[in-house]
Amino acid sequence: MRNQIKCNDFVWHHFKKPNKADFDFMQKNFDFHPLDYEDIRTDTPISKIDTYPKYVFCVFHVPFLDPQTKRIGGDDFFVFISKHVLVTNTNTPIPAVDSFFQNLNQDKKLRDEISRKGTAYLLYKILLLVFDGSYPLIEDLSDTVSRLEDSLQSRNVKQVTIDLAAARRNLLYLRHIIDPQRHMLSTLIAIKRPFLPNEINPYFDDVLDTLETMYLTADNLNSIIDGLFEANEAFLSHKTNDIITILTVMSASLMVPTLISGFYGMNVSWLPYHYDPSIVGSLFVISFFGVLISILWIIRRKKL
């Protein structure tokens, strides 16, 4: 679906889930390289910038959280920028872009401001909103890490381990998405084109600062998660050692009554005191109390 907004001397064309008619429109009205069209027809995991004499083609990736799987992924955001045209394309809707398009279409004052500053300033406004809109992911992950710190001593060790693995996966993938976008902005700032004047560089630096903050925060959270993983593994190892100790003590405690019952269960005449049930019974009672004392010692040791 194609939408457009006309400003003074340029037009913003925004395509959402473009179909064949939309691609035909682009190929008919824009002199873009055929390889660029190949890129926007398919999802690509690689962020990149291709520079041409009259336009620049960018492939950004915008992080998002899948509400069903609770996993972080990256949406493709394709941009063609020239002096008189800004073309954006999303194969999956990006709420920040759609919302800004609607606001710009309805707000004449904002439209006049952007019209005076050109396509580069419009691209800055879009990118700033897109990546600012991703910042709540960092806040959610920060809350998740804090919750995992509090639940590390939980009895539900299996669930804590699963949650730690999920948080680590999301943080690693978020860094994997954000890192190329930082290099994209740095490259965009360095490009020399009439429609990308030096005056716009501080604005792109602003977007770069946002990405740097997100990346550093994600990196710090990932370090905390690594520490929590090590603490959780130590906690699991400690619990395993406790269980092994308990089983060892119980096994050793049962050896004596098992030995006695084994001998006196053979009904042979040469066993000592086999003729006196009270003595044999006393041996079993003593063995029972030995086992009981061992169990009480284990319980007391755990409380200490």
Over residues 177-182, the mean pLDDT reads: 94
DSSP string, 83-114: SSEEEEEESS--HHHHHHHHHHHH-HHHHHHH
CA distance to 154, 158, 262, 268, per residue, from 277 (Å):
51, 51, 16, 14
Task: Locate the domains of the chain by residue range.
Answer: 2-237, 238-303
Report which residue type is found at 267: N
Q: What is the pLDDT of residues 135-170, one digit of tens each?
A: 889 999 999 888 888 887 666 777 888 888 899 999
* pLDDT over 60 at 119, yes or no: yes
CB of 141 within 8 A of CB of 184?
no
Averaged confidence pLDDT in the chain: 84
pTM over 0.85: no
257: number of CA atoms within 13 Å, CB side? 15
CB of 36 within 8 A of CB of 30?
no
Helix (H, G, I), strand (E, B) or coil at 197: coil
Which residue did the predictor score with more confidence, 234 or 45?
A: 45
Task: Return the CATH fold of 2-237.
Answer: Beta Polymerase; domain 2 (3.30.460)
Angle of helix 157-190 relative to helix 201-264, nearest 10 degrees, comes to 160
pLDDT given at position 150: 82
Q: What is the pLDDT of residues 99-109, one digit of tens each?
A: 999 999 998 89
pLDDT given at position 177: 94
Burial of 260 (0-12, 13-18, 19+ CB in 10 A): middle
